[in-house]
Amino acid sequence: MSIFPVYIVGAGPGDPDLITVKGRKLLEQADVVIYADSLVPPEMLDCCRADAEIIPTADRTLEQIMAVMLERVRSNLLVVRLHDGDPSLYGAIHEQITALVEAEIAFEIIPGVSAFQLAAARLQVELTIPELVQTIILTRISGRTQVPEPEDLASLAAHHASLCLYLSARHVEAAEAKLMQHYAADTPVAICFRLGWKDEQIFVVPLAEMAATTQKQGLIRTTLYLISPALNRLAGKARSKLYDPDHDRLFRPKPAP
């Protein structure tokens, strides 16, 4: 038995200040930090102890990562496995969880800010505007990893939701064609490159220009697309019931007449 669980921590999208307080405290205390160096900026590790062992994993296999993780935690070291964004989204943690369960090692997951949340913040929008759009879809297009057929992008586009498209820049022409089956050609799309990194770039273009803009800017990696009617500031004049003076709420009952 090990003293500590393995802590799987979400680092957020890039800005070192966007990690949770709990995640940051664990990074400060960790004996060992095993981190996804292709997606987590090195500045994230500035708060680590000078004697902490820092292990980048971009060039390692799952077996190599698990071997070092299990060895260190069994040596009663505090191990942080640091993933970009929120670990529950395209984080490849399922296979690590399976291996930890098989090894009978306890673990705890500390959530992080996902790329789509920083995109909405940068764009200064709400993705769920009353009477305009009330659903957010987080998805990707098939690449080396196949998306199950019932989740095909064209069928998800039919919902006209706020759609956040991960891991799709290499296949942007196919993505645009599928989205155009249901969204209007002038639906705003935010193309968000390396949000929270020093070279962050955001382009807001009509859907019909999504692929051309991506290719012109040479974006291949670390790009999130946000396709949503909510990006049009003038759309959706309806307001929420939450702060409506005519709406009786548990915490703000209407004054007696």
How far apart, in whole angstroms, are the C-alpha atoms of residue 45 and residue 257? 59
Most distant CA pair in the chain: distance in Å?
70
Interactions with ligand SAM, residue window 150-179 (CB under 6 A): 166-167
Interface with ligand SAM (CB under 6 A), residue from 115, 157, 163, 190: 115
Interface with ligand SAM (CB under 6 A), residue from 4, 7, 35, 90: 90
The nearest distance, CB 240 to ligand SAM, in angstroms, is 26
3-state helix, strand, coil in the chain (%, to 5): 30, 20, 45
CA dihedral 145, 147, 148, 150 (to 10 degrees): -170
How far apart, in whole angstroms, are the C-alpha atoms of residue 100 and residue 47? 26
Strand, coil or helix: 177:
helix
Interface with ligand SAM (CB under 6 A), residue from 114, 139, 214, 228: 114
Question: Angle 94-102/62-74 helices, nearest 10 degrees?
Answer: 50
In terms of CB distance, is 87 or 188 closer to ligand SAM?
87
- Binding piece for ligand SAM, criterion CB under 6 A, among 24-32, 47-55, 155-163, 187-195: 187-195
Q: If binding is defined by CB under 6 A, does position 196 make contact with ligand SAM?
A: yes
- Binding piece for ligand SAM, criterion CB under 6 A, among 21-29, 54-62, 127-135, 188-196: 188-196
Q: How many residues bind ligand SAM (CB under 6 A)?
A: 20
- Binding piece for ligand SAM, criterion CB under 6 A, among 51-59, 68-76, 153-161, 193-201: 193-201
Interactions with ligand SAM, residue window 199-238 (CB under 6 A): 222-224
Q: If binding is defined by CB under 6 A, does position 84 make contact with ligand SAM?
A: yes
Q: If binding is defined by CB under 6 A, does position 192 make contact with ligand SAM?
A: yes
- Binding piece for ligand SAM, criterion CB under 6 A, among 55-63, 81-89, 126-134, 173-181: 81-89
Strand, coil or helix: 213:
helix
Tokens matching residue 188:
């705003």
30, 52 Cβ separation under 8 angstroms = yes
Across the beta sheet with 79-83, what order do the strands follow?
53-56, 32-35, 79-83, 6-10, 107-110
54, 30 Cβ separation under 8 angstroms = no
In terms of CB distance, is 192 or 230 closer to ligand SAM?
192
Interactions with ligand SAM, residue window 7-26 (CB under 6 A): 13-14
Site residues (CB under 6 A) for ligand SAM? 13-14, 84-86, 89-91, 114-115, 166-167, 192, 194-197, 222-224
